[in-house]
Structure 1
């Protein structure tokens, strides 16, 4: 009798998949992000609607119909370092005993130990960028980013002020990778 109940629940879940997939089309980005948190157990950093819908559709189907075959997982493990980092980390996390997810913060990013965005360099760091022949210097401060004696809330707002157009501040100032015309100087 118990096997019938399990089989019935599995069929119901499979039958529900088309409805769940259809529901994704009408969800807003915050709703998709919430659903992502629910299905993956971690916040998403993306706010791209199509990307979130695709990832959620995959996860819904994976949960309902099963994931990769044992053979496919074994082959992926053989490939080792050729795997994308996020996939490898997910495999490691799935192998660990379940732990409560970290508290969600605005934008889905975990804060550094001192409460700041973890992508920012340490306080007092001076970032420089040459743009259109002019060198621009910003300093990472406790309350934000200092540029030309004024405090700004983000690197992106400073990048927009300098260029006149929307930029990712971390990219503009080379925080993701120290390359190009940008460099960081710690005091």
Structure 2
């Protein structure tokens, strides 16, 4: 049994699909979900960075606890606020292709271009009108009465 080569972000970018699934299973101790290779790479890359730089911040852990508690209580009130700070990455898998948007001070970056709204990006991805925050999972769809 040979030594496994050290995995870094550069090597991760070149891994084929089956190796990505095996690496996911090794790092998450669970089978890889049915995601695109791009999203599997992002998840594995996060784990690599988490080992080197540490996990999520205290504020993020608090927000996650609040969300979990609200879900357990079945609370349907106002959604928790989501602050999009510059540098935040929004990731969406659309028809098997991973799409990443970076929040900027004055808009968003997607596909190497500057965009003023998430709605314009969602339309560019899908070809149809979409509410951008809804498309990227920042808001919930309103239920009809």
Asked if Structure 1 and Structure 2 have the same fold, meaning a TM-score greater than 0.5 normalized by the shorter chain, the answer is: no
Which structure dedicates a bigger proportion of its chain to helix? 1
Structure whose CA Rg is larger? 1
TM tier relative to shorter chain: 0.3 to 0.5
